[in-house]
């Protein structure tokens, strides 16, 4: 049997899965959570050492479960990596961590974005990197560290992205791949290589940057030390893999024109395949290299998608719901979405802006804040939680509308991530998009895509398209409900207008 492992380094947990290449089935999985630190407003940090500990635990759980199900330990042919994008990991010459990682949702570097835009020029930035300077990207974070943590920065010998830190711990190699590198603002996306001009303009030593590969290329082998820590076989090939969105798109089969995914994880992403590096002159969507060699993707990003529902769970959900979940073993999110289904479409005029972490598409505004608008004494918890689901979906509709405006074909929308597992959230999306939303048999997203990339990289499948054709089938279809669509069509302009009216006030906070 040919088994491939996909490892996804998420914002809240590491996930390792084992895929049987013969039938595309996930035969085992393991997960391990780790903390997120927010020491100040707009700051978001994690300890890379926590990531590695979480990865070790997730891999061991997957191998142990696989051995239990298969009667013997599965021999992993190859490993693919995926993970949260944009985070900055600095290592010294000995490969030791120099400080916490500023991760994708860290919003402290707006002044550095302004500096980059002024230094390079807004139009030139799009020309060189296909994207504008926003606080989520890596280069502004690097410059912030250079200015505010000079001792740490001067000692840095290597800059790695989060999943590539895991690659280093697994293989000892300092390497990345094109899809993740695209989100650094130091990468020539059109030509799929580091941008010497950006490094020169920003005075960032290119020696800091790792080697960069296509996503299906073998980038190293599991070292004896990592094998001893994880239970993996020393010498197991590790392929380039992909940033979470690109790998997730492979896991959803978004590898051809016309296919679009709507993924709700910590963030929310509307993702479309493109045969060319299509650009939005305003930089409101991201254009990155795809994990499919020789292709690109365009995506709109909602910063606070699943984060908004998790915040509601942690801070607003009643003790009764939490206790019920603990006693019954029911997922708390299932309890919350059952409550949300009790409220009508539109939440009786209650509108939630999910800007708890600022916002990317379409506003590019790290100062944006979350809002409940229209709250009355008649609203119940069911309205509150449904309005959160709807607010995130309005934001995803913003993203989808921009892709349509760019002329990208939209023939099929595939829902994925935690939001894709919720029938209610799929229905809300179908109603708002006024299009059918489908789900597929593969539900693991980035980890699954990473496993498929591992199979392609070691020759089990001839290319990414063949891997997806072999493993992915449509499982469900959700059609829009006309009456609900009419409600959302009425409220959507109001949702957009609330941000416009409040934008001047955000600066006063």
Q: Which residue has the higher pLDDT, 329 or 454?
A: 454
If you average pLDDT over residues 437-454, what whole number do you get? 94
Annotated catalytic residues are 244
Residue 169: its pLDDT value, please? 98
Tokens of 190: 């059109």
Give the pLDDT mean for 250-270.
Answer: 92
Reported as a pLDDT band with limits 50, 70 and 90, residue 175 is: very high
Q: Does the CA dihedral 373-378-380-386 come out positive or negative? A: negative
CA distance 345 to 280: 32
281 pLDDT tier (thresholds 50, 70, 90): confident
- What pLDDT does residue 296 have? 96
Decide if pLDDT at 444 tops 90. Answer: no
- Whole-number mean pLDDT of the chain? 95
Q: How far is residue 187's CA from residue 196's CA, in Å, rounded to a whole number?
A: 9
From start to end of 107-148, where are the E strands? none
DSSP-derived secondary structure for 130-189: SS---TTSHHHHHHHHHHH-HHHHHH--EEE-HHHHHHHHHHS--EEEHHHHTTSSSEET
Each residue of 45-104: pLDDT tens digit?
999 999 999 999 999 999 999 999 999 989 999 999 999 999 999 999 999 999 999 999
Residue 93 CB contacts under 8 Å (≥ 6 apart), including other chains: 157
* CA dist 287 → 49, 160, 395 (Å): 31, 21, 18
When pLDDT is averaged across residues 360-374 and rounded to a whole number, the result is: 92
For tokens 């999306």, what's the residue?
Answer: 429
Q: What whole-number percentage of the chain has pLDDT above 70?
A: 100
Q: Is residue 419 over pLDDT 90?
A: no
Residue 455: the pLDDT is 98
pLDDT at position 460 is: 97
What integer pLDDT is reported at residue 266 of this predicted model?
84
Res 488: pLDDT = 98
Mean pLDDT of 5-30: 96
Give pLDDT tens digits for 374-405.
Answer: 999 999 999 999 999 999 999 999 999 999 99
Residue 213 exposure: Cα atoms within 13 Å on the Cβ side = 21
- The pLDDT confidence band at residue 258, using thresholds 50, 70 and 90, is very high
Q: How far is 17 from 38, CA to CA, in rounded Å?
A: 29
pLDDT higher than 80, residue 319: no
Q: Tell me, what's the pLDDT at 282?
A: 85
d(CA 419, CA 393): 10
- Give the SS3 label for residue 458: coil
For residues 81 and 247, what is the distance between their CA atoms, to the nearest angstrom? 8
- Summarize pLDDT for 203-245 with one digit per residue, the tens: 999 999 999 999 999 999 999 999 999 999 999 999 999 999 8
- Name the residue among 217, 252, 267 with its Cα closest to residue 456: 217
Taking 90 as the threshold, does the pLDDT of residue 265 lie above it?
Answer: no
Kindly report whether the global pTM for this prediction surpasses the value 0.75: yes
Over its C-alpha atoms, the chain yields an Rg (Å, rounded) of: 22
Give the model's pLDDT for residue 326.
77
pLDDT over threshold 80, residue 171: yes
Q: How confident is the model at residue 492 (pLDDT cuts 50, 70, 90)?
A: very high
């Amino acid at each position: 049997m040919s088994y491939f492992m996909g490892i996804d380094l998420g914002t809240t947990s590491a996930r390792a899965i084992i895929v049987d290449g013969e039938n595309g089935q996930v035969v085992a999985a393991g997960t391990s959570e780790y903390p997120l630190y927010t020491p100040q407003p707009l700051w978001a940090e994690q300890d890379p050492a926590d990531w590695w500990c979480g990865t070790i635990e997730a891999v061991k759980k997957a191998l142990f479960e696989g051995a239990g199900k298969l009667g013997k330990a599965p021999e992993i042919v190859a490993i693919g990596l995926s993970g949260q994008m944009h985070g900055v990991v600095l290592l010294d010459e000995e490969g030791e961590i120099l400080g916490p990682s500023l991760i994708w949702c860290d919003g402290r570097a707006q002044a550095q974005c302004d500096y980059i835009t002024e230094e390079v020029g807004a139009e030139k930035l799009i020309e060189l990197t296909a994207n504008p300077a926003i606080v989520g990207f890596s280069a502004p974070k690097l410059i912030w560290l250079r200015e505010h943590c000079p001792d740490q920065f001067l000692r840095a010998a290597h800059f790695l992205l989060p999943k590539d830190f895991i690659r280093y711990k697994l293989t000892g190699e300092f390497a990345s791949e094109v899809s993740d590198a695209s989100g650094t603002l130091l990468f020539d996306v059109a030509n799929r290589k580091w941008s010497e001009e950006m490094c020169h303009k920003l005075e960032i030593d290119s020696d800091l940057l790792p080697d960069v590969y296509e996503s299906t290329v073998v980038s190293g082998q599991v070292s004896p030390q990592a094998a001893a820590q994880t239970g993996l076989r020393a010498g197991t090939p590790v392929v380039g893999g992909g940033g979470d969105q690109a790998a997730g798109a492979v896991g959803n089969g978004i590898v051809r024109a016309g296919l679009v995914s709507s993924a709700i994880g910590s963030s929310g992403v509307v993702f479309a395949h493109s045969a060319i590096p299509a650009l939005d002159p305003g930089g409101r969507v991201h254009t990155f290299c795809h994990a499919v060699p020789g292709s690109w993707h365009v995506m709109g990003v909602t910063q606070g998608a699943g984060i908004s529902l998790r915040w509601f769970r942690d801070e607003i959900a009643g003790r009764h719901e939490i206790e019920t979940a603990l006693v019954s073993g029911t997922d708390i999110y299932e309890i919350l979405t059952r409550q949300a289904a009790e409220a009508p479409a539109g939440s009786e005029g209650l509108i939630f802006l999910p800007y708890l972490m600022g916002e990317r598409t379409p506003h590019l505004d790290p100062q944006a804040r979350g809002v409940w608008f229209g709250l009355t004494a008649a609203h119940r918890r069911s309205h509150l939680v449904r309005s959160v689901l709807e607010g995130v979906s309005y934001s995803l509709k913003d993203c989808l509308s921009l892709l349509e405006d760019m002329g990208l074909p939209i023939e099929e929308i595939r829902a994925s991530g935690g939001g894709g597992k919720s029938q209610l959230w799929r229905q809300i999306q179908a109603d708002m998009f006024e299009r059918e939303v489908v789900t597929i048999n593969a539900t693991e997203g980035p980890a699954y895509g990473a496993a498929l990339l591992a199979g392609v990289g070691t020759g089990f499948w001839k290319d990414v398209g063949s891997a997806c054709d072999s493993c992915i089938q449509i499982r469900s279809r959700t059609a829009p409900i006309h009456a609900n669509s009419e409600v959302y069509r009425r409220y959507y302009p109001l949702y957009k207008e609330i941000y416009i009216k409040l934008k001047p006030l955000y600066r006063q906070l």
